[in-house]
């Protein structure tokens, strides 16, 4: 499945948002409506919809966790939210996010607060309250996602809901809840991630 054109559409949307030096969700909605962006789903594939949606989400997350301007990163977050809210699927496809991406999301929330953009904190809390995220310890890099392995990778990952402790003052890595009811340190998560990657490489050889 070739989704390059869908990604280019997202690039154009966020570029317009950034060019206008926009900062709020209302600004993104204005650009979204002006470009009739919800029509992106009219050309959706008839199969492998999970792969399709995660690819769109991953492209937005790439902007959200980048080192670009604040407007550029906010564009990624707002586009991610709008894609989730306007998708035609019931139940909706949730957003997979890794611990590293989650940490960068927290940085974005802090940066937005420092610039008095209060909607960001409220928006991310809403996303958490609506259980929009699926959490995993392994970065599901956009470039590594293929149609044939996407479902298997999600099954292999410990994918769990997040909670609103993202907004606590303690380091975010102290609040990664796993299925054994334990709270792991980031170093242990990194070790587990490395071991998983090594095991996967052995398995596919």
Mean pLDDT across the stretch 57-79?
A: 95
How far apart CA 193 and CA 157 sit, in angstroms, is: 10
Look up the domain containing 194 and give its range: 4-204
Q: Which DSSP letter does residue 3 get?
A: -
How many domains are there within the chain? 1
How far apart CA 135 and CA 177 sit, in angstroms, is: 9
Backbone angles phi, psi at 94, to 5 degrees: -80, 170
CA 115 to chain centre: 22
pLDDT of residue 138: 65
How far apart CA 158 and CA 191 sit, in angstroms, is: 15
pLDDT of residue 5: 92
Name the strand (E) or helix (H) holding 177: none
pLDDT tens for each residue of 15-58? 999 998 899 999 999 999 999 999 999 989 888 898 899 999 99
pTM above 0.75, yes or no: no
Strand partners, 171: none
- Band (164; pLDDT cuts 50, 70, 90): very low
Q: Is the pLDDT at 7 greater than 60, yes or no?
A: yes
- Band (190; pLDDT cuts 50, 70, 90): low
How far apart CA 24 and CA 163 sit, in angstroms, is: 24
How far apart CA 175 and CA 166 sit, in angstroms, is: 8
Using DSSP's 3-state secondary structure scheme, residue 145 falls into coil
């Amino acid at each position: 499945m070739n989704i390059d054109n869908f990604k280019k559409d997202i690039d154009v949307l966020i570029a317009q948002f950034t060019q206008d030096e926009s900062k709020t969700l209302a600004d993104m909605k204005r650009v979204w409506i002006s470009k009739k962006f919800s029509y992106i789903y009219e050309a959706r594939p008839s199969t492998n919809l999970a792969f399709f949606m995660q690819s769109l989400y991953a492209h937005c997350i790439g902007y959200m966790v980048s080192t670009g301007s604040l407007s550029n990163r906010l564009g990624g977050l707002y586009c991610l939210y709008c894609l989730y809210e306007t998708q035609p699927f019931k139940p909706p496809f949730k957003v997979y996010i890794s611990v590293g991406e989650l940490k960068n999301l927290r940085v974005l929330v802090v940066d937005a607060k420092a610039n008095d953009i209060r909607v960001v904190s409220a928006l991310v809390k809403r996303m958490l309250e609506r259980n929009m995220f699926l959490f995993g310890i392994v970065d599901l890099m956009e470039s590594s996602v293929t149609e044939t392995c996407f479902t298997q990778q999600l099954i292999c990952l410990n994918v769990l809901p997040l909670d609103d402790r993202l907004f606590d003052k303690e380091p975010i890595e102290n609040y990664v809840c796993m299925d054994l009811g334990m709270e792991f340190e980031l170093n242990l998560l990194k070790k587990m991630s490395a071991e998983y990657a090594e095991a996967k490489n052995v398995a596919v050889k």
